[in-house]
């Protein structure tokens, strides 16, 4: 069987790592059903900190093909990816193309795959936020509509697809592949030193870097923020910054892992310099997977608009304030046993939820099949597809 798998952006890298490793393990012991695998990187995330470093840290072999698409508008990325990926398909002629997640590369390669009449499998199928203003939601809908095999992370996602009219035989509940990555990297992450992470990645303050003191386990909050709806409007981001400076860091130290887009907007709005000088606020560059996981393991709470971190917090039990009005991962919410609370980007809601959970105990929760073996189930589904 010939399989092409596609990655394009950082969230994909963490999802493809266990899949690639499962193929290697299968090929070592099953010569009769050996899989001929090609890894394609579209280049949507193309700098070392966002791409190459993740491949190295997660043990993903260098991509067999890099399309070098780079940045651009949504239409530019999708169009350039389709043109480049079509040539790969015509050359390789795979039996299956496997796409992951909901980035532009996922959508573009799905469309191109089906135009070439090739079987398409989608890892992380069926996630729905119901928010059509999110580019990711459009990508999910397109990809799931076109896919021949829909590999879902939870039963809610399977039901979403069934309600949309997808035939039952195309849906396979396999579990969450992100938890495969979490399980295989937990020990390595735990061995990292928190303060070394902070001192190595902390952004300079007035051209100087200062070492931080020891942060106690469970006595700091962790934050990531990157979505345009949260960072592109001064009326949204300025009150959040004010809450952080005047209330949050007075209650607990905050580690803020800054996204390039967020840093740019904070500078545009004139908020950056004051943040760098704020006591008890540690602003870090984008981190590698193990570094971020290490911080999450001992954080007293997470504030984030990242879907992947919602899932991680669910399993680790880290109380999570999700700075979004909706989520495609409802299985991570408190009402389903998870650790996440939707607070949107309204400061009043954020403030109320923050003081409500600041002393909350961890409550780890594993939804069905979030057991670290999802990648093996995916391989079985592909091999049993009849090709």
Q: What is the DSSP code string of 206-253?
A: TTB-----PPPTT--EEEEE--HHHHS-HHHHHHHHHHIIIIIHHHS-
CB 179 within 8 A of CB 378: no
Residue with tokens 């949309």: 164
- pLDDT for the residue 60: 82
**How many whole angstroms separate alpha carbon 222 and alpha carbon 296?**
7
28: number of Cβ within 10 Å:
9
Determine which one of 26, 45, 226, 233 is catalytic.
226
Low-confidence ranges of the chain (pLDDT < 70): 44-52, 204-214, 216, 386-387
- Tell me how far CA of residue 15 lies from CA of 53, 96, 134, 170, in angstroms: 15, 17, 21, 21
- pLDDT for the residue 61: 81
Helix (H) or strand (E) segment spanning residue 120: strand 119-123
Residue 97, phi then psi, degrees to nearest 5? -115, 130
- pLDDT for the residue 209: 46
207 burial via Cβ count (<10 Å: 0-12, 13-18, 19+): exposed
Q: Is residue 226 flagged as an active site residue?
A: yes
Q: Which two tokens stand for residue 263?
A: 């840093």
- pLDDT for the residue 48: 47
**How many whole angstroms separate alpha carbon 50 and alpha carbon 245?**
28
Question: Would you mind telling me the total number of residues written for the chain in this entry?
Answer: 387
CB 82 within 8 A of CB 74: no
Residue 208, phi then psi, degrees to nearest 5? -120, 150
Q: What is the set of domains in the chain, with CATH numbers?
A: 2-176+369-383 (3.40.50.2000), 186-357 (3.40.50.2000)
Half-sphere exposure of 299 (CA within 13 A, CB side): 30
Helix (H) or strand (E) segment spanning residue 23: helix 10-29
**What single DSSP character describes residue 385?**
T
Residue 100, phi then psi, degrees to nearest 5? -130, 145
381: number of Cβ within 10 Å:
14
- pLDDT for the residue 191: 97
- pLDDT for the residue 52: 67
Q: How far is CA 372 from the centre of its chain?
A: 16
Pick from 283, 279, 291, 292: nearest CA to 202: 283
- pLDDT for the residue 194: 93
CB 176 within 8 A of CB 372: no
**How many whole angstroms separate alpha carbon 374 and alpha carbon 67?**
28
Q: What is the DSSP code string of 312-328?
A: HHHHHT--EEE-SS--S
Q: Which residues, 6 or more positions from 66, have their beta carbon under 8 angstroms from its beta carbon? A: 40, 41, 42, 43
Pick from 359, 200, 207, 215: nearest CA to 280: 215
3-state SS, residue 351: helix
Helix (H) or strand (E) segment spanning residue 293: helix 289-298
Q: How far is CA 306 from the centre of its chain?
A: 7
- pLDDT for the residue 44: 67
């Amino acid at each position: 069987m010939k399989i092409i798998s596609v990655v394009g952006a950082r969230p994909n890298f963490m999802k493809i790592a266990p899949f690639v490793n499962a193929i290697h393990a299968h090929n070592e012991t099953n010569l009769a059903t050996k899989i001929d695998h090609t890894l394609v990187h579209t280049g949507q995330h193309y700098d070392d900190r966002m791409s190459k470093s993740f491949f190295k840290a997660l043990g993903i072999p260098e991509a067999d093909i890099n399309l070098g698409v780079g940045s651009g508008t949504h239409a530019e990325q999708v169009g350039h990816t389709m043109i480049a990926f079509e040539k790969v398909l015509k050359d390789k002629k795979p039996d299956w193309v496997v796409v992951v997640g909901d980035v532009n590369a996922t959508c573009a390669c799905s469309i191109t795959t089906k135009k070439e009449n090739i079987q398409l499998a989608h890892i992380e199928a069926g996630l729905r936020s119901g928010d059509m203003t999110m580019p990711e939601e459009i990508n999910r809908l397109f990809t799931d509509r076109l896919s021949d095999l829909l590999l879902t992370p939870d039963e809610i996602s399977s039901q979403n697809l069934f309600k949309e009219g997808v035939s039952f035989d195309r849906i396979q509940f396999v579990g969450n592949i992100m938890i495969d990555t979490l399980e295989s990297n937990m020990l390595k992450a735990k061995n990292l030193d928190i303060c070394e992470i902070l001192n190595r990645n902390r952004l300079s303050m007035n051209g100087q870097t200062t070492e931080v003191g020891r942060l106690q386990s469970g006595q700091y909050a962790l934050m990531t923020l990157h979505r345009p709806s949260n960072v592109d409007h001064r009326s949204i981001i300025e009150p959040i910054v004010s809450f952080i400076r005047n209330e949050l860091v007075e209650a607990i130290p905050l580690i803020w892992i800054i996204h390039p887009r967020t840093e740019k907007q904070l500078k545009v709005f004139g908020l950056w310099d004051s943040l760098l000088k704020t006591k008890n606020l540690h602003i870090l560059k984008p981190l590698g997977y193990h570094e971020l996981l290490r911080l999450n393991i001992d954080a007293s709470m997470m504030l984030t608009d990242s879907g992947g971190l919602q899932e991680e917090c669910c399993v680790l039990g880290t109380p999570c304030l999700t700075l979004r009005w909706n989520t495609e991962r409802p299985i991570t919410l408190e009402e389903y046993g998870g650790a996440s609370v939707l607070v949107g980007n309204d400061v009043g809601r954020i403030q109320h939820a923050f003081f409500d959970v600041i002393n909350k105990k961890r409550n780890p929760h594993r939804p069905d099949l979030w057991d670290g073996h999802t990648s093996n189930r995916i391989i079985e589904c592909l091999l049993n597809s009849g090709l």
